[in-house]
Structure 1
């Protein structure tokens, strides 16, 4: 999927994991948004915490919005179901 490849590229440019980029983007949406990532492994918890150290510029936030505009993932969960 092209969206995933572009997010992975942006994350690599930032020197972070795509999951950290996603969490950093969520954190940049405002105090009314509280990400609650789920994981079973301690190494993933530590990786998620790394998102707190990823800062995104206004240009980077705009690029993420361009890559993955609101509503891009709208629709049914399974093909053929609404």
Structure 2
């Protein structure tokens, strides 16, 4: 089994989790560690690898939607409004 490690995805997550500061990314890293420890970042073929990447994107969406609810804001990436 292969594993999608934080080091592989770290260059991409700054755009996904960086709402305010580095604490957002630290949270993402801690959660990704839990995901990895529970076997949810492992894959044996390309379809499973894509499933792992979708988990990362889902995690970012949950994080940003939570941020929206708590701080009464919405997040936008490249003009796409995820919450309104």
Give the TM-score normalised by the residue count of structure 1: 0.26
Whose helix proportion is higher, 1 or 2?
2
More RCO (CA 8 Å, sep 6+): 1
Whose strand proportion is higher, 1 or 2?
2
Give the TM-score normalised by the residue count of structure 2: 0.26
